[in-house]
Structures are given as C-alpha cells and as structure tokens.
Amino acid sequence: MAKRSTLRRMLTIQRVLVKYGLDDIIKETHLLRPLRFIFYLLPGRRDSSAPIGERIRLALEELGPIFIKFGQALSTRRDLLPADIADELAKLQDAVPPFPAEQAVAIIDAAYGEPVDVVFERFDQEPLAAASIAQVHTAKLKTGHEVIVKVLRPGVQEQIEGDLAVLRSIAGLADRHWQHGKRLRPLEVVAEYENTIIDELDLMREAANTAQLKRNFQGSEMLYVPDVYWDYCRPEVLIQERIYGTPISDMDALLEAGTDIQVLAENGVEIFFTQVFRHNFFHADMHPGNIFVITTDPDKPKYAAVDFGIIGTLSPEDQRYLAENFLAFFDRDYHRIAKLHLDSGWVPAETRIDQLETAIRTVCEPIFNKPLAEISFAQMLMRLFKVAQRFNVEIQPQMILLHKTLFNIEGLGRQLYPQLDLWKTAHPVLKRWMDEQVGPRAMLNDLRNNLPQLRNALLELPAIIEHLSERPNDRQADVAARSAELQLQREQSALQRRQNFWLTIAATTALSGTLILTFASVPAMGLGLLVATGVAAVMARP
C-alpha cells in the first residue's frame, strides 16, 4: 500500500510539472520521463506562455509544504536566480494561499474544548499570513493582550508524511544507482530533514523553542523574541505576543525610517554566529517572511524574529571543527583547513593534504576580503562542489540545517547591504568564542563545573591524613620488635614524614583553591594553578 501511495505521489509531481509547462525539469531529472507524454493529454494544462517564475511558484504551492519550503530558501538567493523568478518565489514566504477561516476556528474549538469567543475577546477571521505548515490570525485575549494565533493546516501531517515517503524512495534509488550516492549520503540527508520537518508539526515544541531563544537573548539590543502564552498553547495551536515591525524585505520602508542598514546587516551576522557558537541553538528558518525590524531608534535597529519551528544545534565537536575552519579561512590558512578535513575523517585518510590545500586555496582566495556585492557565490559553490567530488568529501547530514541557515543569512545580507564585509564582521565573534573554549575563562568554567567532585574529595582528606599519620607509630613498634631492620625503618619513617608534609601542603592548596573558586576573588589562571596544584599533589602521593 505504501509503495502504491508513493508511486501515486510521484505521478502527481510529474502531472503538476507538466500542468505548469515545466517540462524541462522532467527531462533533466529523468523521473518517470517515458510517461510524460501521458500528462500532455490530461485536461488542465496551463499555457506555458505565462511567466516562468509564476508557473514555478504555482507548481510549488500545489505540491505542498516541503516544496514550498524549498522555494522559500531559493527566494533569498538572487545571485542564483533571475530577478523575476526570485520575486515570484518570495511570495511563498508569507503569501501562500490560506485555508478557510472556518477550518481554523474548528481546529481551535477542538483544541480548547470550547468556542473561540469564550477564549478570546476578539478573533480576526482574516488571516494575517499563511505559510506552508500553518497560518496566523490576530486576536485579543480576555486579559487585553494582543496576540497572534498560529494554527496548523488541516491534513498537513498526512501530506508531509506522503512526501517524505517519496523523498525516501528517491534517496534510496540515488544511494544505490547514482555515482555520487555513497559520498552525498542521500538517505541520511532525508532522515535528517524528516526529523526537522516532523518537529514543525508540534506547536508546543515551537513554543518551547521560542521561550529558550528569548532567554538566550534576554536584554539584547540586537534581537527581540516575542512572549509565549503557555496557558493557551496546544500541539496544533500556538499563542504568542504580537510584535509590530517592518518586514526585513521592505527596504523602502526601512530607508524611509532612516534605518542604519549597515548596522542592521552587521548585527544580523553577529546574531547568527552568536546563536551557533555561544548558545548552540540557532533559528534555522530565517527567510525574510520570519524577520522584522523595530525602527524605534533608527540608529540602533533591532531585529524581531518569529516562527521557531525549526531550530538547529551542533555537537561540541562539530562546533569546534566549524569554528576552526572559519578562523583558518579568515587567516587564509588553507593548509589548516585541509588538515581539519583530513583529521575529522571528512576525506579519505590517503588524501594528499598538499593537493587538497591547493584546491581549497584556488576556490577561496579570489573572494577573500570582498564585499558581498563582488562575490559570485553561485560560481564559488559550483567550484567547491567539484572539489568535493574530486576528493570524495562526505556530506555530513547533521550540517544540513546549518548550511540552509547560512544560505538564508547570506541571501538576507545581499538584499540588505551588499557592501557588507562578512569576514570582518564574523571574525571577532568567533575569536571570542574560541578564547572562551580554550582560554582562562574556559578553565574557570571547568573548575566550577567540577566543584562538587572536588569538595567531596576534600571531605575525605582528614580521614586520609589521620590514617597516614598513624602509620609511623606502627612502623616504630615493628622496629623495636625487629632490631635487625632498624636502619631500614628509620629511612621509611623519614620518607613518611616527607609524604605527610606534602599531603598537608596539598590539602591546604586544594582547600584554598576551593574557597577562592567559591568567592571568585582571584584571576582565573591563578585560581586554576592553585586548585590544579592541590589536586595533583593529592593524586601523586604514594
């Protein structure tokens, strides 16, 4: 049954592509290519004279959520697409056709077990925005708070699960038959994407993501995150504070308000790297429809973000690896980049590091220190892909969300401020993070984290000292009983006294270090040396 359903969906995809006159896609992909002529005979085929951008947008809308999200990501890449296509795809960010308000009301009634007008003082039937997974209505709570009400699309879960089955089937074929299938790991990539998209279908999870991101940027002058009204949240309904700002894509309004666009663009880069490296919790759906600007103070514009259904995290190892790669790139240390790829296992062990270094330099050097306006990322990506093919670089599925987010960030930066020096803006943020990971502050944090174990060890020190201090008396009694070994026992007693002396020093040093750690009254490096000396002395005793 599942296979028949998947085949039907693949046929549907083909039918929609033909319907909107996108025959070239079928020819290029070879997906059910022999059957394409069947669809030419079906009714409802659009006139291919309509603008291609419009036809692509309409096809993606008809195909559903997963395809809409693909179009959203592409819409930010005006360096990759003609302007007319990019303009059409941009409509997918917040202008997806809405579903009827009556259906939204029915979902809300079922979620609360009571009518909408009992919960809200006012509920606006006209949607504020409609997206691929859900749509948003404005409302007012009985408490007087102005809020937005996010409601899942009816039947969206079944549709997404059907499309995921199609993606798994295509990925399986690619894994088995495509020459690059093993290296690009399509099955793992689809599995990673599946986890992400399924998480979006639980609005309680999105509410939790929102709350966490708000805590991370509490008091920030660069980013505002709306409040969540937990008492009204359900898996299919999300209630949060309504924010008022200018859409990031409305450049005319931002310029009319006197917004410092350069500051805005630089802050965007810093927010991204802060999320990825300092918080390890980043907004991974940062297309223009989810980003607004608060221009109360035009000289210090502030971002306001919404829609936290997709959040990315990285392992500490991946964080460190990425940070070192970025810093090596900023320093033009291409040998270091090549070595990092080799050490991480992303390229085969037999790879010649000098050849990989030369290939990376050839791609990266031409764009170094250039503003976004002078960089052809489309060309650079193609060249990097060829390098990856040549050296059998394995695609890391856990990086997919980060790549997608970088894709969006670069697209936003290009729209906002093409003169942005991306490298200069990001470099100090990464340097600070690396200092926190390996510098004195990192040592202090490690010591604080291990403080409970250290205190437990110190509690045992008096008993250890007492036990050791009794041992000389025992040995002296043995010496009296065994006069033939008197000289040997004297030497042992002298050795024991030296041990007791160093143990006392160790206990005193460790105890002092603990007190200093507790009250944080000396620099981190001095503190680390004190505690480390004490612990080392205890561990080194015979």
Q: Residues 388, 353: contact at Cβ < 8 Å?
A: no
In angstroms, the CA 414 to CA 410 distance is: 6
- Beta bridge mates, 132: none
In angstroms, the CA 530 to CA 516 distance is: 9
H helix or E strand, kind and range, residue 152: strand 146-152
In angstroms, the CA 101 to CA 127 distance is: 7
Torsions phi, psi for 135 (to 5 deg): -135, 160
Q: What's the one-letter identity of residue 518?
A: T
- Strand ranges (DSSP E) for 6-64? none
Assigned token pair, 410: 């670069």
| Angular region, 369: left φ>0, alpha ψ -120 to 50, beta rest | left
Q: Residues 253, 246: contact at Cβ < 8 Å?
A: yes
Q: What's the one-letter identity of residue 345?
A: G
Reply yes or no on whether 285 is catalytic. yes
| Residue located via tokens 């503003």 | 371
Q: Residues 287, 73: contact at Cβ < 8 Å?
A: yes
Torsions phi, psi for 79 (to 5 deg): -80, -20
Give the closest residue to 20 by CA, choosing from 81, 67, 78, 65: 67
Q: Residues 171, 186: contact at Cβ < 8 Å?
A: yes
CB-based contacts of 450, cutoff 8 Å, min separation 6: none
Give the closest residue to 541 by CA, choosing from 460, 476, 479: 460
In angstroms, the CA 80 to CA 286 distance is: 18
CB-based contacts of 292, cutoff 8 Å, min separation 6: 243, 245, 246, 247, 248, 303, 304, 305, 306
Rounded to the nearest 10°, the torsion over CA 92, 97, 101, 104 is -50
Give the closest residue to 422 by CA, choosing from 540, 296, 269: 269
Give the C-alpha distances (Å, rounded to integers) separating 340 from 151, 336, 343, 480: 45, 6, 5, 66
Torsion sign across C-alpha atoms 130, 131, 134, 137:
negative
In angstroms, the CA 175 to CA 182 distance is: 6
Give the closest residue to 420 by CA, choosing from 407, 409, 429: 409
**Which value, in Å, is the radius of gyration of the alpha carbons in the chain?**
31
Torsions phi, psi for 302 (to 5 deg): -125, 130
Q: Residues 171, 189: contact at Cβ < 8 Å?
A: yes
The one catalytic residue in 285, 307, 331, 474 is 285
Which DSSP state fits 234?
Answer: B
Q: Which residues are tagged catalytic?
A: 285
